[in-house]
Structure 1
Amino acid sequence: MPYAFSLDDVAFLRSEQGERAVAACAELPLTDATRIADVGTARRLVGERYAAALETVVLRRKAVSKLAGLPGADRWLFTGDALQQASAAPVAAVRARRLAGRDVHDVTCSIGADLVALAGAAARCVGSDVDEVRLAMAAHNSARSGVSPLLVRADALRPVTRNCVVVADPARRDSSGRRTWRPEDFVPALDELARACAGRDLVVKCAPGLDPAAVPWAREVELVSLDGQVREACLWSEGLATVGRRATVLRSDGTQWTVTDAEPDDVPVGEPGEWIVDPDGAVVRAGLVRHYAARHGLWQLDERIAYLTGDEPPPGVRAFRVLEFENYSEKALRATLRRHDIGRVEILVRGLDIDPNTLRRRLKPKGSGEASVVLTRIGRTPTSFLCRAERP
């Protein structure tokens, strides 16, 4: 069970004594093998607040990659659940830039991951939450990051501001802690939040698997990925939407690009080219595969499959140079791998009911080379592509 922080814990952790306690515990390895010894050492060094100090060290270590580059984040305070739901710093920054210069109210500010980004871009920024512990942590984290939003304890369904853009990140776990995908089970529920914010500009971060039909008030659905992993869907209301669907693709090195449904999507279906391109997950989930293909001069292998093909892949994208292709059968693929002396194989699948890990075990590839195998369906024909992954 995750540690349940109290207000007294937060007050201690924010004090000089608490900072010294966390610094002392940060020297401990905190591995499974050393856990019992580390707890004993922490008790001796810290006293009765040892558990809060240890949990803080553990959570700060987990937060490093998510909050990389955010000023002062190495001194932030978290709860386990709040850290898990917190936006990664690059994702929060993109959302904040779209709201630059506006008055913004983060009505579910939690420990402040989005709030800090918003406060750095907004004209004025308010953060609120019903959880006193998280609100106290948000105050600490904001100060550490050099921003000072107004913080108040308030229910997201009972507005305490006017003329602000409302930003919300509803909790997406049920009472047992299991992840939920139903908007009515979010806290606050999406339909209740939309009613409470009727007539106001509203931005809601939610799970990428959300069915857009469940949120008819959202005029733009933005899917956001970071380093190839789809992180979230962001819903934008009437006054903020600029397109119907958007995919935003981010990299930790600071590069980013977007594609929207306002762009052309007239692409053909044709024979395999020199390359296979597997579009970023945000593009696929946003339903923008054809728009992405049109932008880069690619075409589809099959109109119902997300794999694209062409004679030149988009710059900087990991793509698959086609060495040969054939109608798929396990026997034929095994022979192809053997003929090319392939011992290490990456298997990608779309449109076929094949588990890559199970197939790899059955193939038992033996050889000195490596390759990527793309399995898909062209029309009704299962097809296998032997490829070499490259990043031109």
Structure 2
Amino acid sequence: MERAELTALLTSEGLRLVDELGAIDSSDEVARTVSRLRAQGLSPDLVSAAVGQARLRTRARAKFGDFADRMLLTRAGLEQATRLSVGARHAGRFRDAGVRRVADLGCGIGGDALAFAGIGLDVLAVDADETTAALAAYNLAAFGDTATVRHARAEDVALDGVDAVWLDPARRTAGHTETARVAAGDWSPPLEWVFALAQRIPAGIKLGPAFDRAQIPADAEAQWISVDGSTIELVVWTGKLARAGVRRSALVVRSDRAAELTAPSDAEDAEVRPLGAFVHEPEGAVIRARLIGEVARRLDAGMLAPGIAYLTSDAEITSPFVQSFRFLEELPTDLKALRQALREREIGTLEIKKRGVDVDPAAFRTQLKLKGPRTATLILTRAGTSRIALLAERVTG
């Protein structure tokens, strides 16, 4: 967001206009709305800012629910923001650890700070980007003195009276208009500084789920989180925010339900066993946390192949930690023969799952030239040194 747009937006006219626009769902609707507002004589900066906010608020409802209709956002800020339901779980951990005042260093648009303030914690929210800090201040204004926002670098903020910190080191660009790809040394704040601070004061550090595990401190708790099938983040917890005896955690959230798997370390994989009546795919958080073996042993399942994140069992399994598929039959892996087999079975809609094979599912689906009224799942993977194709159907429950 440019400064001129922010200036136009943070006026009674600008804020009223955003509220009046309501939901804007499509590019065509954006174009029509811009044309209508410009024809009314409104300034280009005001129109751009108001329509952009209306579109972002519509998208933000997936993360913030009804709160989105009272927030000011940027595209990259929304992409980086924690879902409010997940943020509430983080906030609960701070509260349960006896934290009363938390510093949110790298607060972005204020998503996590909203969750902290929402359960009664005092929050000092800090962001190095002036525009982003201004938006966070607006979003947190309803909490009054409970939430204070500062435009500053995290490294420059005095933490007197703060019980713990929440850090979201990110590859940010000025204004949060876009998310840029930068070198590892360009994290803001720097990772070296982040981890050093986390050794001095209890901390929660939000990182991408693919973060280099070698950089995770040995005495910290690493918690990977999946929401509705997508692995969204890794949180490294230190000090009293880290649970005793827990160094690896997989939190799986679906709708309003959550389940967690914890362990003192990475789990050894389970033994390989022959293909059974069911194939199970562990949730992404379980895979990232390297707790596949833990899940397998709990569910009396085995690995389908060494080093491949598929499990198999003869019994049907209901677990939040895996997605299950009923094995129907093995099909040929040759493209032409596979295409013919799927046509004979009248399969026109095919979900393609793959692990351990170099396949682009979208391109492969096009090559199959599917036709027919039936639906199925195709699992492409390896058994030993051989590539296999397993026709299956999802088990729902």
Q: What's the TM-score once normalised by structure 2's chain length?
A: 0.86
Q: For 1:68, what is the secondary structure of its paired residue?
A: helix
2:137 to 136, 139, 158: 139
Select 1:21's aligned residue among 9, 17, 40. 17
Q: CA deviation at 1:351?
A: 0.7
Cα distance, 1:94 vs structure 2: 1.7
* 1:269 is aligned to 2:272: yes
Whole-Å separation in 2 of the counterparts to 1:182 and 1:9: 34
Q: Which residue of 1 aligns with 2:76?
A: 81
> Quick check: 1:284 aligned with 2:292?
no
For the structure 1 residues 374 and 144, does the alpha-carbon distance in structure 2 shift closer, same or farther, using more than 3 Å as the test? same
Q: Which runs of 5+ in 2 are unaligned?
A: none
Whether contact under 8 Å (1:191, 1:215) holds in the other structure is no
Correspondence 1:314 to 2:314: no
**2:36 aligned partner:** 41
Structure 1 distance, partners of 2:223, 2:271, is: 26
CA distance in structure 1 between the aligned counterparts of 2:341 and 2:73, rounded to whole angstroms: 52
Q: 1:18 to 1:148 in 2, by over 3 A?
A: farther
Query: 1:147 & 1:297 partners in 2: Cα distance?
Result: 53
Say if 2:217 is the partner of 1:221: no
Q: Does the aligned pair in 2 maintain the 1:166–1:202 contact within 8 Å? A: yes
Structure-2 residue corresponding to 1:59: 56
Amino acid at match of 2:231: V
Q: Partner letter of residue 333 of structure 1?
A: L
* Counterparts of residues 304-383 of structure 1 (less than 5 Å): 304-310=307-313, 311-315=315-319, 318-325=323-330, 328-383=333-388
Deviation, 1:349, is: 1.0
Matched residues in 2 for 1:295 and 1:372: separation? 25
Equivalent residues in 2 for 1:197-276 (5 A)?
198-216=199-217, 219-242=220-243, 243-251=246-254, 253-262=255-264, 267-276=270-279
The answer to whether the 8 A contact 1:325-1:385 is kept is yes
Counterparts of 2:218 and 2:153, CA distance in 1: 21
Q: CA deviation at 1:230?
A: 1.1
Query: Relative to 1, partners in 2 of residues 1:178 and 1:85: Cα closer, same or farther, differing over 3 Å?
Result: closer
* 1:160-199 superposed matches below 5 A: 160-162=158-160, 163-173=162-172, 177=178, 179-180=180-181, 182-196=183-197, 198-199=199-200
Q: Could you list the per-position Cα deviations for residues 237-276 of structure 1 after superposition, in whole angstroms to 9, with x for gaps in the alignment?
A: 244322222111112x210111123387573210112111
Work out whether residues 181 and 209 of structure 1, in 8 Å CA contact, stay in contact via their aligned partners in 2: no
Which residue identity lines up with residue 248 of structure 1 in the other structure?
L
- Say which SS state the counterpart of residue 208 (structure 1) adopts: coil
CA distance in 2, matches of 1:23, 1:178: 27
Q: CA deviation at 1:30?
A: 7.2
CA contact (8 A) 1:194 1:217 kept: no
Letter aligned with residue 108 of structure 1: G
Deviation at residue 159 of structure 1 after TM alignment: 3.3
Which residue of structure 2 lines up, in the alignment, with residue 129 of structure 1?
A: 127
Q: Secondary structure at the match of 2:305?
A: coil
TM-score by length of 1: 0.87
Percent identity reads: 32
Q: Secondary structure at the match of 1:354?
A: coil
Q: Which runs of 5+ in 1 are unaligned?
A: none
- SS for the counterpart of 1:67 is helix
- Residue 102 of structure 2 contacts residue 123 of structure 2 at CA under 8 Å; is this kept in 1? yes
Aligned partners of 1:204 and 1:213: how far apart in 2? 15
Give the 3 Å change call, closer, same or farther, for CA 63–45 of structure 1 in structure 2.
farther
8 Å CA contact 2:198–2:238 kept in 1: the answer is no
Deviations along 1:320-345, whole A, 9 cap, x unmatched? Answer: 10111256333443343244332322
**Compared CA separation, residues 166 and 258, structure 1 to 2 (3 A):** same
Shift of 1:86: 0.9
1:110 alignment partner, SS class? coil
Which segment drifts farther, 368-377 or 43-52? 43-52
The one-letter amino acid of 2:317's match is: P
Specify the alignment match of 2:298 in structure 1: 295
CA contact (8 A) 1:205 1:233 kept: yes
Number of aligned residues:
384
Give the distance between the partners of 2:59 and 2:145, measured in 1 at CA.
Answer: 23
User: For residues 379 and 106 of structure 1, do their structure 2 counterparts lie closer, same or farther at Cα, with a shift above 3 Å needed?
Assistant: same
Q: How far apart, in 1, do the equivalents of 2:181 and 2:15 lie?
A: 36
Give the direction of change, closer, same or farther, for the CA distance of 1:76–1:177 in structure 2 (3 Å limit): closer
Distance 1:341 1:91, change over 3 A: same
> SS at the partner of 1:306?
coil
Q: Give the aligned CA root-mean-square deviation in angstroms.
A: 2.8
**Cα distance, 1:297 vs structure 2:** 2.0
Indicate conservation of the 8 Å contact 1:344/1:369, yes or no: yes
Please tell me whether the aligned partners of residues 181 and 207 of structure 1 are also in contact (alpha carbons under 8 angstroms).
no
Do the aligned partners of residues 223 and 146 (structure 1) sit closer, same or farther apart at CA in structure 2, a change above 3 Å counting? farther
Note closer, same or farther for the CA distance 1:9–1:245 as it changes in structure 2 (3 Å cut). Answer: farther
User: Does 2:158 correspond to 1:153?
Assistant: no
Aligned equivalents of 1:346, 1:152: Cα separation in 2 = 48
Change in 2 beyond 3 A, CA 1:305/1:126:
same
Mapped to 1, the partners of 2:394 and 2:55 lie a distance apart of: 37
Question: 1:91, CA displacement in angstroms?
Answer: 1.8
